């Protein structure tokens, strides 16, 4: 009798276990609702209107979509924890390019999507730095008439404010990709072309899921420096017999007759001197004079281009 009771208890236990597993299986595989915030790569700005698309890699016909609200929060219903998804996020910048750009793409497990609280996508706050032709910081501008546009950095037609010296500016919420950049220096356009803003891929950063050290390394790359079309202008002054002129006044005037550098009362040339960061996109007229006479006596005049291989001698 005892053996029979033991057998009955054993089979009853197996039946109960089977029933529990059968009941639990649908719950474990049941689709759920994911909710997370979409922000820029630095994690500072919510991206209102970001469109999230999740496609089941095993069944592409299962395509889930949702749009982030004003706070950047998005809800996606129907995520299966045991499925794999290709997740893409699109966002349209109100300032730069103004087109819907793919700013995030990666493969994610459904169970991870259900646990995510925040996704940092490839939309960046970028520091743009203008360098001279040799790769050094641009010198400070002097001798420019008041009211003239001395310098500026323009990205995708947006004139950036809060310029720094040496010339630099910060652009907020720039989507990954090619962008048009224009740099104005000393009243001239010294850079006009495209630049690439972004990282090697579109995997973004998910706190709690990704390596924070790799994230910090990527943050350090968000500084873009461009070489402008500028160079120094070296002038050497000699007497007809070959001796160097110890002192002379110098005016450097552009093709429009605008004085860019004024030597009189500022500094004297001792044999040779170099003026840095003049645009190489135009010719300049250099006038030398003896400033001790009244009126100053003109000694020589030469037209030259900054950055030429040979020094300019007069």
- What Å distances lie between residue 58 and 65, 107, 156, CA to CA? 17, 12, 40
In a domain? residue 100: no
Higher pLDDT: 67 or 133? It is: 67
Same domain membership, residue 189 and residue 143: yes
Q: Name 301's bridge partners.
A: 287
Separation between Cα atoms, residue 68 and residue 34, nearest integer Å? 12
In a domain? residue 36: no
- List, for residues 82-110, the tens digit of each pLDDT value: 999 999 999 999 999 878 899 999 999 99
Q: Which domain holds residue 19?
A: 1-28
Q: Burial letters for 31-62: b for 16+ Cβ neighbours within 10 Å, e otherwise?
A: beebebbbbbbeeeebbeebbbbbbbeeeeee
In a domain? residue 109: no
In a domain? residue 104: no
Is residue 42 predicted with pLDDT exceeding 60? yes
Same domain membership, residue 250 and residue 309: yes
pTM, rounded to two decimals: 0.78
Same domain membership, residue 241 and residue 283: yes
Residue among 41, 36, 89 nearest 216 (CA): 41
In a domain? residue 276: yes
Question: With contact defined as beta carbons under 8 Å apart, do 32 and 75 qualify?
Answer: no
Higher pLDDT: 28 or 228? It is: 228
Separation between Cα atoms, residue 189 and residue 187, nearest integer Å? 7
Question: Count of alpha carbons within 13 Å of 248, Cβ hemisphere only?
Answer: 25
In a domain? residue 185: yes
Number of domains in the chain: 3
Separation between Cα atoms, residue 26 and residue 82, nearest integer Å? 11
In a domain? residue 273: yes
Same domain membership, residue 144 and residue 190: yes
Same domain membership, residue 298 and residue 241: yes
Same domain membership, residue 294 and residue 241: yes
In a domain? residue 217: no
């Amino acid at each position: 009798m005892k053996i029979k009771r033991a057998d009955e208890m054993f089979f009853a236990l197996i039946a109960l276990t089977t029933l529990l597993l059968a009941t639990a299986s649908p719950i474990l595989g049941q689709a759920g609702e994911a909710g997370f915030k979409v922000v820029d790569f630095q994690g500072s700005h919510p991206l209102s209107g970001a469109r999230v698309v999740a496609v089941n890699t095993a069944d592409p016909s299962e395509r889930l979509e949702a749009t982030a609200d004003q706070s950047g929060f998005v809800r996606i219903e129907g995520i299966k924890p045991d499925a794999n998804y290709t997740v893409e996020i699109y966002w349209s910048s109100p300032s730069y390019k103004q087109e819907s750009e793919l700013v995030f793409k990666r493969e994610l497990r459904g169970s991870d999507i259900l646990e995510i609280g925040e996704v940092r996508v490839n939309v960046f706050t970028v520091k743009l730095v203008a360098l001279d032709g040799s790769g050094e910081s641009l010198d400070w501008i002097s001798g420019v008439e008041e009211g003239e546009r001395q310098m500026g950095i323009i990205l995708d037609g947006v004139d950036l404010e809060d310029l720094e010296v040496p010339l630099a500016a910060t652009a907020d919420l720039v989507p990954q990709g090619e962008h048009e950049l224009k740099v104005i220096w000393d009243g001239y356009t010294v850079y006009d072309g495209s630049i690439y803003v972004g990282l090697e891929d579109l995997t973004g950063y998910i706190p709690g899921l990704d390596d924070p050290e790799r994230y910090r390394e990527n943050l350090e790359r968000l500084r873009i420096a461009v070489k402008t079309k500028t160079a120094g202008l070296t002038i050497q002054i000699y007497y007809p017999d070959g001796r160097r002129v110890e002192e002379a006044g110098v005016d450097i005037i552009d093709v429009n007759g605008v004085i860019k550098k004024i030597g009189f009362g500022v500094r004297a040339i001792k044999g040779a001197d170099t003026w840095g960061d003049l645009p190489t996109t135009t010719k300049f007229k250099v006038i030398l004079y003896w400033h001790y006479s009244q009126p100053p006596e003109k000694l020589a005049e030469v037209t030259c281009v900054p950055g030429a291989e040979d020094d300019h001698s007069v």
